[in-house]
Amino acid sequence: MNIPNPKNPANSASSAKVKVRLINLGGPRHAAEVEPFLVDLLTDPLMVDMPLPFFIQKPLMSYVARKRAIKVAHKYESMGFGGGSPIVAETERQARSLQERLSSLAPQVNWEIVVSMTCGSPNVRDLSPVDLIPAQNNIILPLYPQFSRSTTMSFGRIAAQVSGQCPLSRAGCIAPFYNDQRYHQAIADLILEHWQRGLDPQYFIQLDASRSSVDWRRNTLLFSAHGIPMRLIHKGDQYQKQIEANAQAITKILRKQGFSGEMHISYQSRLGRGKWTSPSTIAKLTELGQADHQNVSVYPISFVSDHLETLEEIETELRAVALTAGISNFQRLPAPGTWPPFIEFLAQLVLAHSQDAQADDRCQCLEMGGERLRACSH
């Protein structure tokens, strides 16, 4: 267990307070926020990459957002969270759990864990410049396991508009953790516990407690990630490679525990007509059903909290696809939420950065996103 060094600035009398800012994409907290959320989402040039000048894309996609708001609002209404998404409340729950754990591990530090979203509220754009300049006592933790232009790099662009600096790669800003062995172990343990004993529902939203009718070792495991347009991949986005590496690393741990079933990777949530990362989760589930896979467990590998894409798309829409395809036992594995091993992993990440924050010698935007932002430090 890491214990902060009392000689470290994060533990001195002059800097006894450490703020940690969790960054997520966000979602509407209630029906009135659906349209503003969609405007933020669809007018972001990194989230919706179009071969159009931004002065044309912004009003066009603002119009599309307003047109889509009614349809999307119905989906949020069907989830049972008051017409909105649970992602903000769930991220706030993660913040409270992380603060409790950090206060236990390092009680000499006054920890403050806050949340900000790139779309919707509480919005990154409303912060002061100093809030978005990472340091040992001002740690920024994007909750995206894998880097993408549409998530991590989008946050970097918005933060740079506020502060004049891209926070990514700077000391105090935590990098994507798709390749961290501790993260692999936490997620492998989550999957195994769900299969073997069942998870404690207090740490998850609307937990699917269904059990497989066969030995868990022979389950089919499908890692479903949020898809992105191939246009981003062609620009140098490493997201798909990181998803694949992440899934392989988790599966390797599961194999050592006796898992012998098939593992597959697919992509969901396609928007528009362009070519996206493939295979789609719809196509993969149909293929598995036709190949007589009866027990399929789906893990949302690109998310750390459950929301529309898991509770509605996987739980309802993709479950229907699976059952129609002939899959008799479909299990939605939860995102890690406030599950203690995952919170422990986040706490260890934060502790390490509060003790010895090191700037990345790479430009994340260039190396993982294919493009250096104007405000990048490298």
Give the least confident one: 42-51, 246-255, 260-269: 42-51
Strands of 138-142's sheet in order across: 110-117, 17-24, 138-142
The verdict on 291 and 352 lying in the same domain is: no
The verdict on 52 and 165 lying in the same domain is: yes
Give, as one character, the DSSP assignment of residue 75.
H
At 71 the three-state DSSP class reads helix
The verdict on 327 and 358 lying in the same domain is: no
The verdict on 204 and 154 lying in the same domain is: no
Whether pLDDT at 11 is above 50 = no
The pTM for the full model equals: 0.93
- Dist. CA 27–CA 38, nearest whole Å: 9
Range of the domain at 239: 181-332
- DSSP secondary structure string, 205-256? SS------SS-GGG-EEEEEEE--BHHHHHTT--HHHHHHHHHHHHHHHHHH
Q: Which of 114, 108, 109, 101 is nearest to 141 (CA)?
A: 114
Any domain includes 5: no
Any domain includes 9: no
The verdict on 43 and 144 lying in the same domain is: yes
Scanning the structure block, which residue is given the tokens 């070792």? 217
| CATH number for position 204 | 3.40.50.1400
In the chain, the number of structural domains is 2
Tens-place pLDDT, residues 54-70: 888 889 989 999 999 98
Q: Which of 275, 285, 174 is nearest to 221 (CA)?
A: 285
What is the average per-residue pLDDT within 293-321?
A: 96
Scanning the structure block, which residue is given the tokens 């935590």? 174
Q: What is the mean pLDDT of the chain?
A: 92
The verdict on 233 and 164 lying in the same domain is: no
The three-point CA angle 136-140-145 to 5° equals: 125
The verdict on 328 and 347 lying in the same domain is: no
The verdict on 169 and 191 lying in the same domain is: no
Whether pLDDT at 229 is above 90 = yes
pLDDT at 211: 67
Q: Which of 199, 225, 200 is nearest to 309 (CA)?
A: 225
Strand partners, 331: 297
The verdict on 46 and 162 lying in the same domain is: yes
Helix 340-356 crosses helix 181-196 at what angle (to 10 degrees)?
170
CA 365 to chain centre: 18
The verdict on 265 and 127 lying in the same domain is: no
Peptide bond into 300 cis (omega under 30): no
Give the least confident one: 57-71, 112-126, 153-167, 225-239: 57-71
Give, as one character, the DSSP assignment of residue 299.
E
At 41 the three-state DSSP class reads helix
- DSSP secondary structure string, 117-172? ESSSSSBGGGS-GGGGS-BTTEEEEE--SS--TTTHHHHHHHHHHHHSS--TTSTT
